[in-house]
């Protein structure tokens, strides 16, 4: 079975090695950022030699780009799920819960995304100005309609989404700071209750 080719043309060993590289790269990039990361670090953590790593990816940029491409789908899906036909308050709260869940389950991916944004988004700027903007524009129209109809309290829809991003992703991007302050309390234990209370008071008509 050694060398058996999978459906995508990769052998099992090749797929395994590529997975090792991607996992190691996520650890390194999320910790040191793109500029502070080196191929030698990724190779060492993946358990491969640098020449072997370069067999799979021609450059650090190529690894970084592939990681971000996969991440973007996860990042856009929670907002895509906001349904114009659903209960307005529950739809917004569902979005908050989904974003918080991503921070809890994919903290390294969140920090990778944050590092890319802080560097001016050289790799994903076109996506931010294109697919992300179109999606946000579409969903803010829904939120504005709910607000105009009195189904939620008056709110600036773009800034609502920005605040959801910041309040949920903070738990992943500033994990070290949060854990230092909370000491023995697990960060996500009360986060969900707090955010639901906050947005309930902000949005729900009395």
Task: Using the 3D structure, point to which of 11, 27, 58 is the last residue of a domain.
Answer: 58
Residue 5's pLDDT band (cuts 50, 70, 90): very low
Tell me: do 78 and 153 sit in the same domain. yes
Tell me: do 44 and 127 sit in the same domain. no
pLDDT at 104: 94
pLDDT at 202: 94
CATH number at residue 42: 1.10.10.60
CATH number at residue 72: 1.10.357.10
Tell me: do 45 and 99 sit in the same domain. no
Q: Report residue 154: phi and psi, to 5°.
A: -55, 130
Q: Tell me: the pLDDT tens digits for 99-148?
A: 999 999 999 999 989 988 988 988 888 889 999 999 999 999 999 999 99
pTM score, two decimals? 0.84
CA–CA dist 197, 171 (Å, integer): 17
Q: Report residue 155: phi and psi, to 5°.
A: -155, 145
Q: Which residues contact 146 (CB under 8 A, 6 or more apart)?
A: 88, 152
- Count of structural domains, the chain: 2
pLDDT at 10: 64
CA–CA dist 95, 81 (Å, integer): 8
Tell me: do 169 and 72 sit in the same domain. yes
Q: Is the pLDDT of residue 47 over 60?
A: yes
pLDDT at 185: 79
pLDDT at 4: 35
Tell me: do 29 and 71 sit in the same domain. no
pLDDT at 140: 98
Tell me: do 98 and 141 sit in the same domain. yes
Residue 8's pLDDT band (cuts 50, 70, 90): low
Q: What is the DSSP string of 6-57?
A: -TTS-BHHHHHHHHHHHHHHHHHHHHHHHHH--HHHHHHHHTS-HHHHHHH-
Q: Tell me: the pLDDT tens digits for 50-109?
A: 999 999 999 999 999 888 888 888 889 999 999 999 999 999 999 999 999 999 999 999
Residue 9's pLDDT band (cuts 50, 70, 90): low
What is the DSSP-derived secondary structure letter of residue 185? S
What is the CB-side half-sphere exposure of residue 1 using CA atoms within 13 A?
A: 3
| 10 to 2, 15, 18, 19, 190: CA distances (angstroms) | 12, 6, 10, 12, 44
Q: What is the extent of the structural domain holding 47? A: 1-58
The average pLDDT across 31-50 equals 91
Return the bridge partners of 11, or none.
5
Percentage with pLDDT > 70 across the chain: 95
Neighbours of 33 (CB within 10 A): 16
Tell me: do 5 and 106 sit in the same domain. no
Q: Is the pLDDT of residue 164 over 90?
A: yes
């Amino acid at each position: 079975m050694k060398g058996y080719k999978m459906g995508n043309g990769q052998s099992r060993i090749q797929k395994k090695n590529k997975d090792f590289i991607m996992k190691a790269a996520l650890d390194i990039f999320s910790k040191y950022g793109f500029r502070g990361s080196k191929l030698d670090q990724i190779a060492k953590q993946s358990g491969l030699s640098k020449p072997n790593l370069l067999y799979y990816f021609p450059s650090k940029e190529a690894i970084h780009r592939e990681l971000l491409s996969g991440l973007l789908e996860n990042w856009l899906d929670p907002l895509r799920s906001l349904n114009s036909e659903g209960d307005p308050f529950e739809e917004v709260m569902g979005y908050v819960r989904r974003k918080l869940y991503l921070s809890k389950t994919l903290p390294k991916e969140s920090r990778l995304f944050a590092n890319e944004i802080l560097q001016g988004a050289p790799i994903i700027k076109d996506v931010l100005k294109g697919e992300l903007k179109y999606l946000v524009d579409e969903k803010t129209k829904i939120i504005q309609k709910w607000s105009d109809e009195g189904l939620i309290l008056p709110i600036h829809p773009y800034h609502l989404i920005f605040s959801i991003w910041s309040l949920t992703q903070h738990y992943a991007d500033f994990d070290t700071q949060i854990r230092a302050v909370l000491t023995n309390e697990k960060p996500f234990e009360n986060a969900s209750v707090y955010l639901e209370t906050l947005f309930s008071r902000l949005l729900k008509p009395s």
